[in-house]
Structure 1
Amino acid sequence: MASPVIDCTPFGKELRALASRLPRVPREDLYGFLEEAKTLSAELPGEIADALDSFNAQGNHDGYLLLRGLPVDDSELPVTPTSTPAPLDRPLLVMEAMLALAGRRLGLHTGYQELRSGTVYHDVYPSPGAHYLSSETSETTLEFHTEMAYHVLQPNYVMLSCSRADHERRAETQVGSVRKALELLDDATRARLHERPMPCCVDVAFRGGVPDPGAIALVKPLYGPAEDPYLGYDRELLAPDDPRDQEAVAALSKALDDVTTSVKLTPGDLLIIDNFRTTHARTPFTPRWDGKDRWLHRVYIRTDRNGQLSGGERAGDVVAFSPRR
């Protein structure tokens, strides 16, 4: 079985050259920036381009692709952010450029109106007192979740690039693949979970200012082709009310735990998570608040799968929330 890790260190010079041809202030004209990234993505080194195209076409058993050894230099970075969104005039960072080039090879960068002020590029960094469901939490586990499984326009890919790791290199991004977990489920459990809508709560950003609106969405834990289904799972938010559904979801949860793979993101890593066939989590770490804390960059990518696109969309579009029913 092919490794999900691609060593990009031999292509550092080529990748820096591509990044240098992108507009220097991406947020000044994000549509234009991402269009140029699409053009330049055709010039990605062959090994990287082939890996991205293959992953986009059929995924893999692990549920993720890791581009390792991309060009990044801590001496070129500003301090780790302490607020969001990023200033509109912030110059392009190399790991943001890598997200643009690889992401446009896959599909369309998308912002979500209710999330991070509707921005497309997200800085992910520790924040004091962050909500336990937020990516800005650090000293508690961010539990397994399929990103926005409750959203009609759920992204196909979650992309995370790393400019800085946590100081102790403790933080792990954990990925549970449904293709692996399915092998541990009996036929009755699989049948119970497949194409069965279950109540699901939503993240804080999508609650419309209501502290707890309850389970306002319906999510199918398994859906699509029965022999190779997609996954909709959130350990904190999926809330089945039928005891038989609870039992089936518990079995799925255990299977996902049993097949979990952990990735410690280091500077120069770009992790692409297949958000239709995985759930992911992050283990705790301890920030120092010294300007050098863990700093990731995140984008969401939509493709033409599962009704994500209806025609006329552009990379850089921002979409409004609509819960699955």
Structure 2
Amino acid sequence: MTVVDCTPFAGDLRALAASLPRVPRADLYAFLESAKAAAAGLPAGLVAELDSFNAHGNQDGYLLLRGLPVEDDEALPTTPNSTPAPVDRPLLVMEAMLGAVGRRLGLHTGYRELRAGTVYHDVYPSPNAHYLSSETSEVLLEFHTEMTYHTLQPNYVMLGCSRADHERTAATLVASVRKALPLLTAEQRARLFDRRMPCSVDVAFRGGVPDPGAIAQVKPLYGDPDDPFLGYDRELLEPAGPEDTKAVDALSKALDEVTEAVHLTPGDVLIVDNFRTTHARTPFTPRWDGRDRWLHRVYIRTDRNGQLSGGERAGDVVSFTPRS
């Protein structure tokens, strides 16, 4: 597990959070510009870890920042039960951390069809949530590379924890292609590499159509054959034909074998390399008492993998185009 202990920096980081605008959603562009300026003052040890991960990634496919400042549970608002967050909600410390750390990595991005195009997402359990939704709780949220079917998929998924689940049993599962690749045969790798396969899309991107079918084409492995990127969704990828199905099954098995479980606790930020991993979340039991699990999610794009063309700003909202 790749963990960066941030407890020695907690005082400096709390001061950094206090320097940012108090109501981020009132002018998100201005807030994220302030976060970029604040990112220049991040502790040198943290900056070195972030820059190395941004430039090279790592074998685990994620970076876990642990011990960041966060409000005491009693000082936090109740866990949300609706989305999006109110425009006038005051800044939370974890939102400040996602702002500054995210700006060190790249540009915060909203997706027009998802969560009303908002950039900061509250992630919380919701009764009767769709099984593909992050708001599920009592069922497994299956492995997926976030928006692998989207031409502008995020380079990073960042999850910040303000409040853990009561029993602290919920785990974010991460599986890295760099660890899984050696478990595949040369024939399996060749079958998966640069091979377009039909893929459905999440409910938010279906344009109101209950089931438009596999409207995207996704390559399970692509890029450098010796160090490939991963495009994988256990629920939505639909290989056609027995040979493709067998190869995807082998990839699934390899990813399961290298899976790591991360139990997020208050003050954690998990940065997932979304081009080299797939991630999931194990079930947990909410109590519906206002103190259920509360994460904050942002998506970051960088100038790698063709995700930026020039002129973009942190806080931009992009529209859906399926991979073809």
TM-score, normalization by structure 2: 0.99
Deviation at 1:236, TM superposition (A): 0.1
Partner of 2:205: 206
Whole-Å separation in 2 of the counterparts to 1:270 and 1:101: 12
Partner of 1:11: 9
Partner of 1:178: 177
1:90 partnered with 2:89: yes
Gaps of 5+ in 1: none
Whole-Å separation in 1 of the counterparts to 2:242 and 2:200: 18
Percent identical: 77
**Superposition map of 1:219-298 within 5 A:** 219-298=218-297
Q: Aligned to 2:116, what secondary structure does the other structure show?
A: helix
Whole-Å separation in 2 of the counterparts to 1:93 and 1:144: 29
User: In structure 2, which of residues 42, 45, 48 is the aligned counterpart of residue 44 of structure 1?
Assistant: 42
Deviation at 1:76, TM superposition (A): 2.1
Partner of 1:63: 61
Deviation at 1:204, TM superposition (A): 0.2
Q: Aligned to 1:224, what secondary structure does the other structure show?
A: strand
Deviation at 1:75, TM superposition (A): 2.4
Q: Aligned to 1:139, what secondary structure does the other structure show?
A: coil
Whole-Å separation in 1 of the counterparts to 2:48 and 2:91: 26
Deviations 1:229-288 (A, max 9, x none): 000000000001121110000000000000000000000000000000000000000000
Question: In the alignment, residue 21 of structure 1 is paired with which amino acid?
Answer: S
User: In structure 1, which of residues 8, 21, 24 is the aligned counterpart of residue 22 of structure 2?
Assistant: 24
Partner of 1:138: 137
Question: In the alignment, residue 323 of structure 2 is paired with which amino acid?
Answer: R
User: In structure 1, which of residues 34, 47, 53 is the aligned counterpart of residue 51 of structure 2?
Assistant: 53
Whole-Å separation in 2 of the counterparts to 1:204 and 1:142: 14
Whole-Å separation in 2 of the counterparts to 1:250 and 1:178: 14
Deviation at 1:50, TM superposition (A): 0.6
Deviations 1:143-193 (A, max 9, x none): 000000000000000000000000000100000000000010011100110
Whole-Å separation in 2 of the counterparts to 1:246 and 1:39: 48
Deviations 1:51-88 (A, max 9, x none): 00000000000000000011112122100000000000
How many aligned residue pairs are there? Answer: 323
Partner of 1:75: 74
Whole-Å separation in 1 of the counterparts to 2:185 and 2:239: 19
Q: Aligned to 1:262, what secondary structure does the other structure show?
A: strand
Whole-Å separation in 1 of the counterparts to 2:158 and 2:185: 32
Q: Aligned to 2:198, what secondary structure does the other structure show?
A: strand
Question: In the alignment, residue 144 of structure 1 is paired with which amino acid?
Answer: F
Whole-Å separation in 1 of the counterparts to 2:297 and 2:221: 26
Whole-Å separation in 2 of the counterparts to 1:51 and 1:29: 30
TM-score, normalization by structure 1: 0.99
Whole-Å separation in 2 of the counterparts to 1:240 and 1:265: 33
Partner of 1:100: 99
Whole-Å separation in 2 of the counterparts to 1:51 and 1:11: 13
Q: Aligned to 2:227, what secondary structure does the other structure show?
A: coil
Whole-Å separation in 2 of the counterparts to 1:240 and 1:84: 34
Question: In the alignment, residue 74 of structure 2 is paired with which amino acid?
Answer: S
Deviation at 1:18, TM superposition (A): 0.4
Partner of 1:111: 110
Whole-Å separation in 2 of the counterparts to 1:309 and 1:13: 34
Q: Mean Cα displacement is larger for which, 233-242 or 73-82?
A: 73-82
Question: In the alignment, residue 79 of structure 1 is paired with which amino acid?
Answer: T
Whole-Å separation in 1 of the counterparts to 2:242 and 2:118: 40
Partner of 2:313: 314
The CA RMSD measured in Å over matched residues stands at 0.5
Whole-Å separation in 2 of the counterparts to 1:241 and 1:195: 15
Whole-Å separation in 2 of the counterparts to 1:102 and 1:273: 13
Whole-Å separation in 2 of the counterparts to 1:156 and 1:75: 34
Question: In the alignment, residue 182 of structure 2 is paired with which amino acid?
Answer: E
Question: In the alignment, residue 161 of structure 2 is paired with which amino acid?
Answer: C
Q: Mean Cα displacement is larger for which, 105-114 or 65-74?
A: 65-74
